[in-house]
Amino acid sequence: MNLEYFIAKRLIKGTAHKISISAPIIKIAITAIALGLIMMLVAIATGVGLKYKIREKVAAFNGHIQIYNYDNNLSDVSVTPVSTRQDFYPEFRIVDGVSHVQAVATKGGIIRTEETFEGIIAKGVGDDYDWTAFREYLVSGRLPQYDGKLNNEVLMSRLMANKLQLETGDTFFAFFLKEDDPSKTPNQRKFEIVGLYDSGFEEFDATYLMTDLRHIQRMNGWEADQVGNFEVFLDDFDTIDEKSAEIYGKTHSDLDTQTIKTKYYKIFEWIGLFDFNIGVIIGIMIIVAGFNMITALLVLILERTQMIGILKALGSSNWSIRKVFLYNAAYLILVGLFWGNLVGLGFLWLQDRFRFLKFPNPQEYYIEYIPVHLDVLTVVVLNIGVLLLCLVMLLVPSYIITRIQPVKAIKFE
């Protein structure tokens, strides 16, 4: 039988401590552990959730990796075409970890109405385009269909539609300069809005108009097998640098690759700070919870001074007695973790389900509500980490037990 665990268990189950001087201090320590864990769960879930959402939105408009001709410029407009006759298209098998590849092309233009006009980037997509993200962003109408004959259907952002005073079902004219000779009469196209989207990413919503890829090909004088670039989507975003290098090495020498981390480096540097903020919050919460547990442990030791003296008189070692109080402290930490998980995870589930907490300035965070993301492994590691770190912090104050002399302790009141 584990004697130390047996004694600690009797102390925990006993009723004397519930009405003793240590009772309120113990409750405060448990509350501190619970509140600390809640704050850590919220910090991790919201920080990671926001980071994932922003990454997801940037990838929705660009893919994770772009493959384009070396002769192309670094603007958002396709200049030099790329042939679709590639080993990696339409099925990307030359590199593992790629979930999808799609061919696109972009062209700058102007939408003009009777009242106003707006500059746009028309993004031509085909029947291989993955609309998964835009289904979530769709706020009116439907998604365009480009798997049949060439049509004039377009998907426009709600932001752009409001500026142009247009809505679903309206038609409009767009004008595109000819790349070979801008002085010539611009290409004119009449489009119909079949759907409106709102990604919350103003940088993209104010610019991109989704249209049939064949319109871009015809205006640029390209063949049916020529596109502006390829967008590659990965199974795991964390491997983006590794996969980009691998793709670059396995494609033709006239092709280059670019990741969204490179293209939008300012955005990714910003969201990279989230990890630092999360780490700071976790560190502060663990220190606060640890000091509260140190206070509770010292009070428990003071309250049980006579018991410590008797155990020493009976031959118990200092480490054996320290283990009794460490077991006791571990129980209190576990109680705090239980309530912290119950309240914290419950709160995060409600936020994920009902999205009742929203940003006061959505345009600054590219999303209206506060997103949350948390996996089981993170929760388990966080709980184990808090428990172990708090116990390690308690090793030093428990050393006070070695300074207690049995004779004085037995007489202590």
User: Across the chain, which distance is largest between two alpha carbons, in Å?
Assistant: 105
Instruction: Give per-residue pLDDT as tens, 237-280.
Output: 999 999 999 999 999 888 999 999 999 999 999 998 888 989 99
pLDDT at 182 over 90: no
Cis-peptide into 90, omega within 30 deg: yes
What integer pLDDT is reported at residue 27 of this predicted model? 84
| Residue 238, token pair as written in the block | 């964390």
What integer pLDDT is reported at residue 110 of this predicted model? 94
pLDDT at 56 over 90: yes
pLDDT at 184 over 80: no
Distance CA 390, CA 40 (A): 15
Residue whose structure tokens are 């009449």 = 190
Strands 171-176 and 187-197: antiparallel
Rounded percentage of the chain residues whose pLDDT exceeds 90: 58
How far is the CA of 27 from the CAs of 32, 57, 267, 336, in angstroms?
9, 44, 44, 9
Least Cα distance to 128 among 240, 223, 197, 231 occurs for 231
How far is the CA of 243 from the CAs of 54, 95, 234, in angstroms?
20, 8, 8
What integer pLDDT is reported at residue 413 of this predicted model? 55
Distance CA 67, CA 254 (A): 10
Instruction: Give per-residue pLDDT as tens, 98-151.
Output: 999 999 999 999 999 888 899 999 999 999 999 999 999 999 999 999 988 999
What integer pLDDT is reported at residue 72 of this predicted model? 65
Instruction: Give per-residue pLDDT as tens, 197-224.
Output: 999 898 899 999 999 999 999 999 999 9
What integer pLDDT is reported at residue 9 of this predicted model? 80
Rounded percentage of the chain residues whose pLDDT exceeds 70: 93
As a dihedral over the C-alpha atoms of residue 137, residue 143, residue 146, residue 150, rounded to 10 degrees, the angle is: -120
pLDDT at 19 over 70: no
What integer pLDDT is reported at residue 256 of this predicted model? 92
Q: What confidence tier does 395 reach under pLDDT thresholds 50, 70, 90?
A: confident
What are the structural domain ranges in the chain? 3-56+268-411, 71-253
pLDDT average, residue stretch 14-30: 68
Whether residue 348 contacts residue 42, with contact meaning beta carbons closer than 8 Å, is answered with yes
Q: What confidence tier does 181 reach under pLDDT thresholds 50, 70, 90?
A: low
Strands 187-197 and 153-157: parallel
pLDDT average, residue stretch 367-389: 93
The average confidence (pLDDT) of the chain is 89
Q: What confidence tier does 325 reach under pLDDT thresholds 50, 70, 90?
A: confident
What integer pLDDT is reported at residue 183 of this predicted model? 64
pLDDT at 22 over 80: no
Instruction: Give per-residue pLDDT as tens, 402-411.
Output: 777 776 666 6
What integer pLDDT is reported at residue 406 of this predicted model? 72
Cβ-proximal residues to 145 (8 Å cutoff; 6+ apart), any chain: 151, 153
Whether residue 119 contacts residue 208, with contact meaning beta carbons closer than 8 Å, is answered with no
Task: Give the predicted TM-score (pTM) of the model.
Answer: 0.85
> Burial letters for 348-357: b for 16+ Cβ neighbours within 10 Å, e otherwise?
beebbeeeee
Instruction: Give per-residue pLDDT as tens, 281-291.
Output: 999 998 988 88
Instruction: Give per-residue pLDDT as tens, 94-105.
Output: 999 999 999 999
pLDDT at 180 over 70: no
What integer pLDDT is reported at residue 316 of this predicted model? 82
pLDDT average, residue stretch 164-169: 94
Distance CA 55, CA 50 (A): 9
The helix/strand/coil state of 74 is coil
